A and B are shown apart, each in its own frame.
Chain A
Amino acid sequence: MREPLGRRIAKWVLATLIVVSTMLPLAWMIIAGFKGKNEVLRTPFQFFPDVWIWENYIQILGDAAFMQAMIITFIGAVLFTALSLTVNSFAAYAFARLDFRGKSLWWAYCITPMFVPGMAILLTSFVVVSNLGMLNTLAVLIIPGAASAAQMFFIRQFYLNTPVAIEEAALIDGASRWKIFWTIFLPQSQGPFVVVGVGSFLAFWNAYVWPILTIQDPQLQQIMQYLANFRSDRGNEWGLLMAGSALAALPTILLVLIFQRYIVNGVRLAGMK
């Protein structure tokens, strides 16, 4: 039965409203990147610039420190994603499929960190990483946060919902649990891995507080650090700041666009029961 036209139009209007208001801040930022300093904030307000200038974006892209920050953050994010996927999926599989002594104890152990606020351990974990000699290295950004109770929980949920049937055959053949994980579960895990992987990448890319405490070396400066510093130092170069922010947000937005299918469906996969 065809929906009445009025109703359909109303839905499109509402949808447009949602899209526009959600995207408005980002759109403004991107456009502001094309404005000269005196146009970014002017009265009377104008959304589009009188004069479109490319200089801001070009200048930022040409800034060695900016590009360095983008690149190093990207490298770190990839490594971090790989590490956290590994650590968390291993544990998730063990909890979902294996039975072992002390399981519920270890489960409690692995879940508790979800409830520990970062601020309570900020100083002391700093001392720990400092004593491990990790300060001012990429490792200090990658290793401490790799184990994530929330991610492990999510992947475990997926594995719990995976029918036992797929491993039956392999088990009868005498395959080890490890082999089953490696050859059967992993290839099936695309969905949740993408979701969790994107989540890891995001968390790393957007990190700010931990990097400012632990990273001194300008070569290792993370992109959000760079932006915040830029704002403090050269705060009155508004056009440049907007262009830099837009470019800094770009990779994560692209990631979402590329993997949108997985992400929006991935939320379902876990099934909140």
Chain B
Amino acid sequence: MHKRNSRLALTAVAVATASALLAGCSSGTAPTTADGKQKVIFWQQKFEDYQQAWFKKNVEAFNKSQDQVEVEYVVVPADTWDQKLKAAQAAGKAPDVKTTNYGNVKPMQANGQLADLTQLMDAEDFDDIKPNVKEFVTVDGGVYGYPLLVEPSTVLFYRTDLFEKAGIDAPPTSWDELIEDARKLTSGKVKGMNIAQTAPDLGWSSWGLQYNVAGDLPLRGDWSEASATDPAYKELAEFYQTLYTEKLMPQEATYGYADCSFFGEGSVAMSACGSWALGQLAGNPDWKNVNENFAVAPFPSYDGDPTRPTATLGGWTLTIDSKSKVAEGAAEFVDYLVADDPQRMVEFFAASGFSKYAARASVDEALAADEEASSNPYMKIISEQIVAHAKGEPAYPWDVSLAFATAIEKSMRGGDIDASLKEAQDAIAGVIEKQKLAGTAPGN
């Protein structure tokens, strides 16, 4: 009987310890390396190779330049980023610093996930940020992400040689013209146009066009009501529908919107893509022919008005986790990387083939002084005609954008436009209710 009792007691203790362990008590002390430095974990979402190279080089330089902080650099593939981040947060092991796109900054801040950088970095670092970009990362006077770059999400790329052959002398300036041109250019294996066709891609790449045709987004004002059934959106859906159902564009999304391979391979004569495509085109030696025969233009407005927005200004920032135990060390790293010497950023943009644009005034100046930068033909068009009119990304949850995008995809695949938009309307209303969005729009 002795044995059984003590065995029981032992088991009870074991179970209790185990549950304590398993329920998650994370240590309260700051993580340090063996030699007493603060350990900062940095997750970079995987981008183009030149970005990984730039980050790697600068992380190493930072680590060497001082001995209080050591940064561990982790590259995470884009398609598993969200799940991994979520899971890490659940376990209390979220990275201290991570790349975050503008669209996620405000929702994450609303959930208390981000640290206010104004408490961790010098004021002058923030003065340097361009005013329209600063808006994207500011909430109630606090700044929650330090901008790395901006890139307009929608630029029209077109083949000058194919245009010549088809007798078109200028890029289209209205949606009707674009469709006309696409019809003329679709012949044989080449399609006239390429644009997003799956809901996840349409979700963010059509924001610019949503602004263009309706002046605002399907969730606007104080977010208490959905506006997906705004009659202007019908034109938008029809535009996409025509391109797909008339087979003026590829019928399968072999490449996502963000990948301009269709254009680079010569399968399409025109393509909507983000400005980053410039880097992709320049970087691929197999695409030499296309590279020497293309030009860029702003995506046409539905009615031809060139001052209406057609693109949103997307891009990436570095954010610090609000629960980070090494926030100061993390801030030092962020400062070194993106807020410090403008030359570092010039190197970054040069490596990108100037397909991305600066968010800081000082970097713009440095670029203007840089020979390579100022001789780039596309940069001027993009910054003057596209970035100038571009809008910021919406701050509402992705579910809203996805619901609207699903309506567009349904229309594209031949579905009834009114019915699809109504479905989106209902879906967005559901999101407003469940996620309690009414009245929470920033700036309201």
**Chains A and B in contact, CB within 8 Å:** yes
Q: Which residues of B contact A123 (CB under 8 A)?
A: 87, 90
Are B24 and A126 in touch, CB under 8 angstroms? no
Q: Which of A25-53 contact B (CB under 8 A)?
A: 43
Are A126 and B80 in touch, CB under 8 angstroms? no
- Provide 26 A-B residue pairs closer than 8 Å at the C-beta atoms, listed in order of the A residue: A43-B189, A123-B87, A126-B87, A126-B90, A127-B22, A127-B24, A128-B22, A130-B88, A130-B90, A130-B91, A130-B93, A131-B22, A131-B24, A131-B26, A135-B91, A135-B93, A212-B83, A213-B80, A213-B83, A213-B87, A216-B74, A216-B76, A232-B79, A233-B77, A235-B255, A236-B265
Give bound CA distance, A130 to B94, whole Å: 11
By size class, the interface of chain A is 10 to 19
Q: Per-residue CB proximity of A122-143 to B under 8 Å, as 1/0?
A: 0100111011100100000000
Q: Which residues of B contact A126 (CB under 8 A)?
A: 87, 90-91
Of B21, B46, B189, which one neighbours A233 at CB under 8 angstroms? B46
Q: Which residues of A contact B24 (CB under 8 A)?
A: 127, 130-131
Asked if A161 is at the interface of the complex by the 8 Å CB criterion, the answer is no
Q: Per-residue CB proximity of B69-95 to A under 8 Å, as 1/0?
A: 000001011111001100110111100
Q: A126-B87, A236-B261, A236-B265 are in contact. List 5 more A-B contacts (CB 8 A).
A: A126-B90, A132-B22, A213-B84, A233-B46, A233-B77
By size class, the interface of chain B is 20 to 34
Closest to B83 in A: A213
Q: Which residues of B contact A131 (CB under 8 A)?
A: 21-26, 91
Q: Which of B264-287 contact A (CB under 8 A)?
A: 265
Closest to B92 in A: A130
Give bound CA distance, A260 to B159, whole Å: 57
Closest to A37 in B: B286
Q: Which residues of A contact B25 (CB under 8 A)?
A: 131
Q: Top 5 nearest A-B pairs by Cβ distance?
A: A130-B91, A212-B80, A126-B87, A131-B24, A128-B22
Give bound CA distance, A229 to B75, whole Å: 12
Closest approach, in angstroms, between the C-beta of B358 and any C-beta of chain A? 27
Give bound CA distance, A123 to B259, whole Å: 32
Are A232 and B77 in touch, CB under 8 angstroms? yes
Q: Which residues of B contact A233 (CB under 8 A)?
A: 46, 77
Q: Which of B245-270 contact A (CB under 8 A)?
A: 255, 259, 261, 265
Q: Which of B78-131 contact A (CB under 8 A)?
A: 78-80, 83-84, 87-88, 90-93
Closest approach, in angstroms, between the C-beta of B79 and any C-beta of chain A? 5
Closest to A129 in B: B91
Give bound CA distance, A43 to B84, whole Å: 40
Give bound CA distance, A213 to B91, whole Å: 12
Q: Which residues of A contact B189 (CB under 8 A)?
A: 43
Give bound CA distance, A81 to B191, whole Å: 52
Are B90 and A127 in touch, CB under 8 angstroms? yes
Q: Which residues of A contact B21 (CB under 8 A)?
A: 131-132
Q: Which residues of A contact B84 (CB under 8 A)?
A: 212-213, 216
